[in-house]
Amino acid sequence: MHHAGRLFWAAPLLLSACAGVEIRTDHDPAVDFSRYSTYYWKRLPATSNSLMNGRIVSAVEGQLFAKGWRKVPEQQAQTALAADVTTRQGQRVDTFHNNWGPGWHGWGMGGQMMTTARVVTYEVGTLVVDLYDVTSRNAIWRGTASDTLSDNPATLQKSLNEGVRQMFASFPPGSPSNPRSQ
């Protein structure tokens, strides 16, 4: 069935995730994913951090390899993979109390509890991975992972690995390990 450029997406699936990570996957329900097992990178992730770009590629390739897929030259690939990373600023309100309250080692007995709040700005990063059928050029699958970016490389690596793992947890759609009925 040729889709003539139109996308027929299933209802987005929101998976439960570890703290702060939001995962969504979407796919064309008319596509038989059992026909595919090869891919090439049409568009690599392009962040300002070349180390992070490599980590994203490794994480995605590791998940696809675990599913029995393999990377091949463009001319031999059945699917094309594209990754994008976007960032935006988010804000939250942090509230602080400057009094321990009554009964804390005698401090604050009868005192007023003072509350102060400040707005904290932070970066939210989203990884988007798209998979296209090479022949039809139609998008057939999309995964997104959104998380708060960390300045700590170990925390960032753990978050990336977990996000990509969850993104591909039910991939490919309709596989025996992931019946469509679920």
Low-confidence ranges of the chain (pLDDT < 50): 1-19, 104, 106-108, 178-182
Q: Whole-model pTM?
A: 0.68
Cis peptide before 29 (omega within 30 of 0): no
Question: What is the per-residue pLDDT for 96?
Answer: 59
Question: What is the per-residue pLDDT for 166?
Answer: 93
Question: What is the per-residue pLDDT for 7?
Answer: 38
Question: What is the per-residue pLDDT for 180?
Answer: 41
Question: What is the per-residue pLDDT for 89?
Answer: 66
Question: What is the per-residue pLDDT for 87?
Answer: 74
Per-residue pLDDT tens digits for 19-36: 467 899 999 999 999 999
Q: Angle of helix 50-66 relative to helix 153-167, nearest 10 degrees?
A: 30
The secondary structure of residue 74, as a DSSP letter, is: G
The ranges assigned to domains in the chain are 13-98+113-167
Cβ distance 134 to 32 under 8 Å?
A: no
Q: Which amino acid is at 15?
A: L
Question: What is the per-residue pLDDT for 176?
Answer: 58
Quickly name the fold that domain 13-98+113-167 has: Double Stranded RNA Binding Domain (3.30.160)
Integer Cα distance of 85 and 159 in angstroms: 14
